[in-house]
């Protein structure tokens, strides 16, 4: 793949259904990264039931779009159940976690601050 390609791991110029681009796997969180740079991250995830990403922070604002199922998302002291079709933003530098009470798939978009020169 040439260095001019900014998005990877997806066919170009044909319609795609994101839900079908990552499969559930027993006992795992599966991911497919579409873009990764110092300013932007774009990743598709499939969480099996009872899998999680533990509490952490990130230097960028993270928007989660639930594509299938529903996930329990903790941001600071608040918990939200987010269902297919909904989005939630996890602000930069605020601890957050994701837990799958049921299976769910999500698209994660992280927009990071520019690095200081």
| Residue range(s) defining the domain that contains residue 56 | 18-112
**99 lies in some domain:** yes
Q: Please name which of 65, 79, 70 lies closest in space to residue 102, comparing C-alpha atoms.
A: 70
**85 lies in some domain:** yes
Whichever domain contains 70, its CATH number is: 2.60.120.10
- Cα separation, 77 vs 55, whole angstroms: 11
Spell out the per-residue pLDDT of the chain, length 117, in tens.
Answer: 456 789 999 999 999 999 999 999 999 999 999 999 999 999 999 999 999 999 999 999 999 999 999 999 999 999 999 999 999 999 999 999 999 999 999 999 999 988 775
**83 lies in some domain:** yes
Q: Kindly state the tokens that stand for 36.
A: 């990764």
Residues 113 and 92 sit within 8 Å (Cβ to Cβ): yes
Q: Please name which of 18, 52, 56, 10 lies closest in space to residue 35, comparing C-alpha atoms.
A: 10
Q: Is the dihedral of CA 66, 71, 74, 79 positive or negative?
A: positive
């Amino acid at each position: 793949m040439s260095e001019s390609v900014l998005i990877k791991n997806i066919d170009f110029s044909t319609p795609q259904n994101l839900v079908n681009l990552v499969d559930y796997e027993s006992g795992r969180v599966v991911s497919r990264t579409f873009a990764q740079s110092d300013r932007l991250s774009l990743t598709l995830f499939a969480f099996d039931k009872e899998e999680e990403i533990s509490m952490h922070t990130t230097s960028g604002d993270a928007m989660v779009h639930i594509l299938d199922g529903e996930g329990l998302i903790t941001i600071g002291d608040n918990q939200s159940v987010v269902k297919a079709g909904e989005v939630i933003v996890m602000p930069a530098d605020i601890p957050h976690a994701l837990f799958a009470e049921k299976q769910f798939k999500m698209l994660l978009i992280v927009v990071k601050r520019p690095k200081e020169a």
